[in-house]
């Protein structure tokens, strides 16, 4: 038998109302001592990546999130019953520790878009009357200097965001992309009771840097901080 996996949680009520899962499949609980794995029986090797399936996965996780704090599995994780039992048995202590870390917590996401654009007119002006070889060298030099400036500016924004929210989060994870319009993507683990505080801080940061555009979402189950996927891939090669 194969299972499609949604999340791991601490013991939850068997009366919890759950939506239908992937492709309309029923959802059930598998008990492993103090841990519960939320699954659907699944007879396929893959599941299609489409909006309906992604929303079904998220709906099940959110139903558990409403009364507990789960460790979500990545979308489209399918495994045999035997391998699932082996994984849970060998990772009980690690999973319990991770559940303790995220207990009563939620994830908030913040994305920052900046207005940096290439001044093409300025670039063209700098190369007027310059030979092709010299123009190429000038362009490469400006590119290197520009890359360094972009990286420095992007890291400054990331550090500024991290510092601003530090007082109301447990953990944070930042992805900084200096050459992209979406320059910073941050995931923040916080106590559920701190959502209002977090949004207030983000509002203050927005006022400080009006040239930046913020996209804030959540609260979500702690997908970024679950860290189940790497262990799964290491032990079973699940992708």
Would you state the pLDDT for residue 220?
95
So what's the pLDDT on residue 38? 95
Residue 93 bridge partners (DSSP): none
Query: How many CB atoms neighbour CB 113 within 10 A?
Result: 14
Q: Which residues contact 21 (CB under 8 A, 6 or more apart)?
A: 4, 6, 27, 40, 56, 57, 60
> Could you tell me the CA-to-CA distances from 123 to 9, 126, 137, 139 in Å, in that order?
56, 5, 13, 8
Find how far residue 212's CA is from the centre of its chain. Answer: 21
What pLDDT does 30 receive?
A: 92
CA distance 84 to 8: 11
| Partner residues linked to 112 by β-bridges | 184, 214
**Can you give the pLDDT at residue 115?**
87
Q: How far apart are CA 41 and CA 30, in angstroms?
A: 11
pLDDT at 117: 52
Q: What is the SS3 assignment for 156? A: helix
pLDDT confidence of residue 104: 93
The parts of the chain modelled with pLDDT lower than 50 are: 118-128, 135, 230, 234, 236, 238-239
Please tell me the predicted confidence (pLDDT) of residue 149: 86
With a threshold of 0.85, does the pTM exceed it?
A: no
> Please, are residues 4 and 40 in contact by the beta-carbon 8 Å criterion?
yes
Give dist(CA 78, CA 231) in Å, integer: 14
């Amino acid at each position: 038998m194969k299972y499609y996996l949604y999340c791991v949680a601490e013991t939850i009520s068997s009366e919890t109302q759950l939506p239908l899962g992937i492709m309309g499949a029923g959802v059930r609980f598998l008990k492993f001592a103090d841990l519960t794995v939320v699954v659907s029986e699944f007879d396929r090797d893959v599941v299609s990546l489409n909006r309906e399936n992604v929303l079904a996965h998220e709906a099940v996780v959110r139903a558990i999130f409403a009364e507990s704090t789960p460790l979500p599995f990545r979308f489209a994780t399918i495994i045999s019953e035997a391998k699932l039992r082996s994984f849970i048995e060998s990772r009980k202590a690690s999973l319990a520790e991770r559940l303790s870390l995220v207990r009563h917590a939620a994830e908030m996401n913040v994305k920052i878009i900046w207005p940096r654009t290439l001044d093409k007119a300025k670039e063209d002006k700098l190369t007027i009357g310059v030979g092709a070889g010299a123009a190429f060298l000038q362009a490469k030099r400006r590119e290197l200097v520009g890359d360094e400036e972009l990286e420095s500016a992007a890291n400054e924004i990331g550090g500024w965001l991290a510092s601003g929210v530090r007082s109301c989060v447990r953990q944070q994870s930042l992805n900084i992309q200096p050459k992209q319009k979406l320059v910073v993507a941050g995931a923040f683990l916080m106590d559920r009771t701190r959502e209002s505080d977090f949004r207030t801080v983000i509002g203050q940061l927005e006022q400080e840097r009006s040239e930046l555009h913020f996209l804030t979402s959540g609260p979500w189950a702690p997908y970024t901080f679950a860290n189940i996927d790497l262990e799964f891939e290491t032990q079973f090669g699940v992708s």
